[in-house]
Amino acid sequence: MDSPAQHLDRDEPPSPSGQAAPSRSGVSGDGTAADGTAGEGTAREGTAREGAAGSDAALAGGPEAPAAAVEEAGEGPAGADGGAAGRDAEGAEVSEGVEVGRLRGWSLRHPVLRDAGLLLVVCLIALVLLNAFVVQPFGIPSGSMEGTLAIGDRVLVNKLAYDGSPVRRGDIVVFDGHGSFVDDDQDTGGGGLIHRAAALLGLASTDDGETFVKRVIGVGGDTVVCCDARHRITVDGVPLDESSYLFPGDAPSTEPFSIKVPEGRLFVLGDHRSDSADSRAHLGDPGGGFVPVGKVIGRVDWIVLPREHWRHLTRPAAFAVLDAELRKGAGGGKRS
């Protein structure tokens, strides 16, 4: 039986005079291991000492056995796969970090978002300017104008309606009640910063205790009386037919009055007369219940919400008849 050394070196004849055979790696025998560095030699010497059985198994198994041994040491295909998996995981983490960085960069610097933000600012500025100078939405919180405006209606107030034109009888107006319905020094709590911001954004309502919506019945110089023998309000002696807009079942007024409207002032009533605190309720107040023309915010021209109430509001025909009679001088009236 051959020795283990003969099996490992079977292709190399023994060296004469007992000297070590030349190294396969071309390194001369100088006391180091035959296959390379000292560390590698130490490992291989340990392997050789495992005995003849291990050597025979390695030779008998052919090229696959060494490969299996290398795999067990973590240096074969399995070890390579593990290393590749680790490198893939590290690469995935790096890739994920890059993607997060890209997303953050997109959210902060992407031109689409920058342009969208700029467009939003421009729209807000345009909305504020539109509400401040042209048209402003208002909500109707009470039933004082029922018959024409319902609770919860959203209306558009035309702020340019009286730019160079006088307020006319029959118009529905939104006005600031200071000096007429509200004392100038009275704090209603409705004119705060939040309300003003809401007004600028078109979210204002007439329930702030300072803003009101009513119909103009008399203008400066008119004498308004309730009522004639047929229970009609008269303006300078000319009767006014209010049947087209009064709340069903309401009388023009259950309170008799006779007033003369000062110049530059307005006498206003709600269409739901039995549920309206209008000029009649303030006749004894310092302002007499007469609204200064300069306090008019604008004319109500449209109901826009809810959708089923959407319509354009026009001046009732009865006021055109009244104007025509007053121009003719009927009842002593001399103005239109």
Q: What is the DSSP letter of 303?
A: E
Residues 168 and 319: beta-carbon distance below 8 Å: yes
| 13 within a domain of the structure (yes/no) | no
Regarding beta strands 154-158 and 238-239, do their DSSP bridges make them parallel or antiparallel, or are they unpaired?
unpaired
At 278, list the tokens.
């209008």
What CATH number is attached to the domain comprising 249? 2.10.109.10
Task: Give the model confidence (pLDDT) of 143-174 as tens digits.
Answer: 999 999 999 999 999 999 999 899 999 999 99
Return d(Cα 159, Cα 162) in angstroms, integer.
7
What total of structural domains would you count in the chain? 1
| 107 within a domain of the structure (yes/no) | no
| 273 within a domain of the structure (yes/no) | yes
| 196 within a domain of the structure (yes/no) | yes
| 111 within a domain of the structure (yes/no) | no
pTM: 0.63
| 290 within a domain of the structure (yes/no) | yes
Structural domain span for residue 218: 136-332
Task: Give the model confidence (pLDDT) of 164-216 as tens digits.
Answer: 899 999 999 999 999 899 887 655 555 566 666 666 666 666 566 789 999 99
Determine the residue type at 14. P
Residues 267 and 275: beta-carbon distance below 8 Å: no
324 Cβ contact list (under 8 Å, min separation 6): none
